[in-house]
Amino acid sequence: MTRFKLTRHATVALLAGAGLMTASLSAQAEGQLRIAQQFGVVYLLLNVAQDQQFIEKRGKQAGVDIKVEYVKLSGGSAVNDALLSGSVDVAGAGVGPLFTLWDRTHGRQNVKGIASLGNFPYYLVSNNPNVKTIADFTEKDRIAVPAVGVSVQSRILQWASAKQWGNKEYAKLDKISVALPHPDAAAAIIKGGTEITGHFGNPPFQEQELAENPNARIVLKSYDVQGGPASSTVLYGTEKFRNENPKTYQAFIEGLDDAAKFITANPEQAADIYIKITGAKTDRKLLLSVIQNPEVQFKVEPQNTLGLGQFMHEVGAIKNQPKALKDYFFDDPRVAKGN
């Protein structure tokens, strides 16, 4: 099987994260915020907050000068490792990696969710004309996901597999899944001719695949598995960071909420910010269609996340059973009404 390398951006980010490790060994003072993010429009709240300096502005209102650093990684495993090592203060990844780390650190570092990055439908796209449902994938196919068995895409695929073949077969498609950053996976689906015949991605990569390859089709929608609109990508951190940096933490959530309201009110400006901040070559019209998709909502309040955690507990992927949002999200008025 062909081995794929990380993109240049991911490699640089990993090196940068390693360089931060020494400084992270000591406790961080108020005013420093290092955020790990990945690829796609699902991180638009962070892009806008960075461009408009919403977090810094909220910090100044609270009397704190906040220095915000953004580290780009690929895959929930890399993000979780960075958070546990102290290389970053806030992790940006799928709700699947959140549940994994929440369970792993329960009673110790006590990692919990901070905020949602909004609701986005994720599509499993295939360029194999013989694949119309997940049951049509064979040993010859390869499905690209950010992190096999860990990423939210992989977890949703497991959930769909359990519904298709039963809980004992929930990991059935893991054996034909490969870890690949979204930009590389999208390029493989669009170009064709590689072992990658499926990609469980996120916006705008899934839309690019459907627009640029006439053979590409949607095999599975995350909302169908999750039972409706859901916050699949979230931000989370340790209890220690929250307790030791209350003003920075609060400014972070307030700044994100400001970014969500900005995007909703200014979608065209938000699209321009995404292109500027990420350097993406995404078609602006396609990007705007993603931002204005009625199924997409920009908000910090998580929605429809509990079901995935309960599924993961049911199949033994996590030991602790989440019973309510407060179990795996920190208490804050902006997120408390979520689910």
Percent of the chain topping pLDDT 90: 86
Distances (CA, A) of 10 to 16, 109, 206, 278: 10, 26, 20, 13
Report the pLDDT value the prediction gives residue 333, as an integer from 0 to 100.
92
pLDDT digits (tens, 9 = 90+) for 34-45: 999 998 899 999
Least confident segment among 24-38, 252-266, 318-332: 24-38
User: What pLDDT does residue 15 have?
Assistant: 42
Distance between CA atoms of residues 37 and 256, nearest Å:
14
CB contact at 8 A, 183 and 72:
no
What pLDDT is attached to residue 4?
Answer: 39
Specify the residue for token string 């907050």.
49
- Give the pLDDT band of residue 280 (cuts 50, 70, 90): confident
**CB of 213 within 8 A of CB of 150?**
no
Nearest C-alpha neighbor of 124 from the set 102, 142, 100: 142
Name the pLDDT band for 62 (thresholds 50, 70, 90): very high
**How many Å apart are CA 153 and CA 120, to the nearest integer?**
12
Q: Return the ∠ at Cα 225 (arms to 154 and 237), rounded to 5°.
A: 50
- Quote the CA–CA distance of 197 and 292 in Å, as a whole number: 28
CA dihedral 78, 114, 235, 122 (to 10 degrees): 120
Per-residue pLDDT of 176-186, as tens digits, reads 999 999 999 99
pLDDT on residue 76: 80
Q: Which domains does the chain have, with CATH numbers?
A: 8-119+230-328 (3.40.190.10), 123-226 (3.40.190.10)
* Whole-number CA gyration radius for the chain: 19
The runs of H, that is alpha helices, within 230-337 are 239-244, 246-265, 267-278, 284-291, 306-314, 325-328
Question: pLDDT at position 29, please?
Answer: 65
Mean pLDDT of the chain: 91
Res. 25: pLDDT tops 80: no
CA distances from 40 to 21, 60, 102, 257 (A): 26, 29, 24, 19
